[in-house]
Structure 1
Amino acid sequence: MPELANPRAERVKAVRALAGRSVRQRTGRFLVEGPQSVREAVRFAAGQVRDVYLTEAAAQRYDEIVRDAQAAGLPVRLGTPEVLEAMSADAQGVVAVLERRPTTLDELFRGAPRLVAVLANVRDPGNAGTVIRAADAAGADAVVLAGESVDPLNPKAVRSTAGSLFHLPVVAGVALAPTLERLRAEGLLVLAADGSGEHDLDDLQDAAAGGAPAGVPDLRTPTAWLFGNEAWGLLPTDRELADAAVRVPIRGRAESLNLATAATVCLYASSRAQR
């Protein structure tokens, strides 16, 4: 029988409150919603998981989450549908509470990264989460959220990663200029993705394959891609911090690509060249 039946219980309110940034910072915990994200959290970040909550129906449908959580010694609690709905409107019957364990730049460089995505002043949690997911899919080593970028533990950002948040290091809350200096000092080429960049991504890919003249940045080298704000892109001062600016070719009538799509294209170009 469900252990939690009162949607107004203090435990339920405490879980729901984690949607707020100030509460996440004060408690050192964050919310993970939905079966896909909770499944990946249990499998890849079990040491951070404090509680897993499911409805009885969700526990039967996603029994692998229950098995993995129990195998890891994690508390699994059943709640009524009303309780899970009160915890999160996006729960789909499954929620987990995790401890925040921030990743530092020092930790990032212990693994000699070859492909990193850097977000500068990216405010939308859905975009930030989607870029983390794309970076994971492209085989990137890390994602860095710099400047005034959104908290990657925002519930919408966590949902948008579809579990990728638990697959690769994500560094947040760092200043952009010293971060890029550190990346460059560690041997990474810094490329800014910019619609008016002096280099065309096609030329970089041709050069990496040996089909274009020299004189363009080499995608085969360790690279940090710099991506700007959704609305205004990269500030001129931020763009100047990069070694070169690269534009994604627009062959149709679209004015531009959105942030997540452009990031995906650039990251996959590097991934293929480095392979």
Structure 2
Amino acid sequence: MSVILSAANARLKEIRKLARRAVRAERRQFLADGPKAVEGALGVEGCVQEIFATEAGAETYASLLADQQVTLVDDRAMAGLSDSVTPAGVVALCRFLDVPLADIAGPLVVICADVRDPGNAGTVIRCADAAGASGVILAGDSVDLYNPKTVRASVGSAFHLPVAIERDPLVAVKAAKAAGLTVLAADMHGTADLFAADALLARPTAWLMGNEAWGLPPQLAAEADEIVSIPIFGRAESLNLSTAAALCLYASARAQR
């Protein structure tokens, strides 16, 4: 009978330290929490290093875990590995997946500059994947790609859409231009109307999206080739970042096709 590890297990105590961003960066490891994230991780060769599951989780996700070596843990140990209020019962220890900036090429890219909310970042990655984008760049002080909430919000897309991490947003913008992409900044004060810019949107494009609260700093927006606004026909002051990103990405996807 398989040994079931408890929360007191020394190895699990070490793995729980991956809840901290600095530890993740040092070890280049993270935890994929829940069946969707584990499924995505298993789809990338060499990504998964170990799978942990409760007995109930192993039974519930038997088809997902078929032919996988699974380490059984008790409920308290799973609660320590998962950041969910109600853990699903399966978590994978994974290696980092981000790619070099030079690997992100057209025809459709998103640059997230100082995007701090993990739910927004994960949703942008998911929307980019759905729109057929070729990659996402998390730039500046953006949230950690490997934050469990970011991974979960991407619903698996973080595992099969190339994502690069660049500390300087200006470097990311210049790299996009050097790769032949037109950089379009999404801003409510833009002079180009998203709904009347098909010729512009048909070009190989990098969408530049700013922080949730204060948008793009003027010096970064000035580096864009064009600033594009999304028309608002009702009384709302603005759109959520991930909603705006979805509209921009699908407008480009439609124009490019």
Same fold, TM-score > 0.5, yes or no:
yes
Kept in 2, the 8 Å contact 1:2–1:55? The answer is no
Relative distance call for 1:13 and 1:82 in structure 2 (3 A) is same
- Cα separation, 1, equivalents of 2:251 and 2:219: 25
Q: Please name the residue that 1:213 is paired with.
A: none
Shift of 1:196: 0.6
- Mind listing any 5+ residue stretches in structure 1 that lack a counterpart? 209-216
User: What is the percentage of aligned positions where both structures have the same residue?
Assistant: 47
Q: Please name the residue that 2:132 is paired with.
A: 139
| Structure 1 residues 134-165: Cα deviation after superposition (integer angstroms, max 9, x where no partner) | 11111111000111111111111111111110
Q: Please name the residue that 1:197 is paired with.
A: 190
- Cα separation, 1, equivalents of 2:236 and 2:45: 43
Shift of 1:181: 1.6
Pairwise CA RMSD of aligned residues? 1.5
Kept in 2, the 8 Å contact 1:4–1:83? The answer is no
Q: 2:78 aligns with which of 69, 76, 84?
A: 84
Kept in 1, the 8 Å contact 2:209–2:215? The answer is yes
Superposed, 1:1-275 pairs within 5 Å as 1=1, 3-43=3-43, 45-67=44-66, 70=67, 75-90=69-84, 91-109=87-105, 113-204=106-197, 208=198, 218-275=200-257
Counterpart of 1:241 in 2: which secondary structure?
coil
Shift of 1:2: 5.0
Counterpart of 1:159 in 2: which secondary structure?
helix
Counterpart of 1:47 in 2: which secondary structure?
coil
Amino acid at match of 1:25: A
Kept in 2, the 8 Å contact 1:52–1:77? The answer is yes
Amino acid at match of 1:155: P
Shift of 1:75: 3.4
- Cα separation, 2, equivalents of 1:2 and 1:250: 59
TM-score after normalising by structure 2? 0.94
Kept in 2, the 8 Å contact 1:42–1:65? The answer is no
Counterpart of 2:41 in 1: which secondary structure?
helix
Kept in 2, the 8 Å contact 1:143–1:171? The answer is yes
Kept in 2, the 8 Å contact 1:149–1:173? The answer is no
- Cα separation, 2, equivalents of 1:115 and 1:27: 31
| Structure 1 residues 15-44: Cα deviation after superposition (integer angstroms, max 9, x where no partner) | 22111011112222111101111111112x
Counterpart of 1:60 in 2: which secondary structure?
helix
